[in-house]
Amino acid sequence: MYWNKWGVYILSYSEKKEVLETILSQANGRVPIYAGVCCISTKETINQSLIAKFIGADVLSIIVPWFAADSKEELYSHYKEISKKIDLPIVLYNIPSIITNKIEVNALKKTLQNR
């Protein structure tokens, strides 16, 4: 889990979990909480997304895998697998200026049609 501001992405797993738990506690159901997930692998993205859901996140913001360049088909498969395993709304997070992988509109449509 990560939150792209305040440097939270550099925290350990247990620290990230504590941050999300604190945010949820303070929000106390008044507003929906988006939990960001930023992992290199699909498997780890799914695992961290499930944890965020279990803790109480309302929505997931999932960035494209940022380390390795993936084909459009691999990105499609990445999001397809996540959406099959996670029954929360997912915001696809794209940072084209600093991340090699970019979410293409056609791949996004294909993912949404097969969800």
CA angle 55, 14, 90 (to 5 degrees): 45
Sketch out the chain's domains with CATH numbers: 8-113 (3.20.20.70)
Look at residue 2 and tell me whether its pLDDT is greater than 50: no
Beta bridge partners of 61: 36, 91
CB-CB neighbours of 22 under 10 Å? 10
E-assigned strands of the chain? 34-37, 59-63, 90-93
Average pLDDT over residues 39-49: 88
Answer whether 104's CB lies under 8 Å from 71's CB.
Answer: no
Q: In what order do the strands lie in the sheet with 90-93?
A: 34-37, 59-63, 90-93
Predicted pLDDT at 115: 59
Mean pLDDT estimate for the chain:
80
Indicate the pLDDT class of residue 7, thresholds 50, 70 and 90.
Answer: low
Question: Is 37 in a helix, a strand, or coil?
Answer: strand
pLDDT band at 3; cut points 50, 70, 90: very low
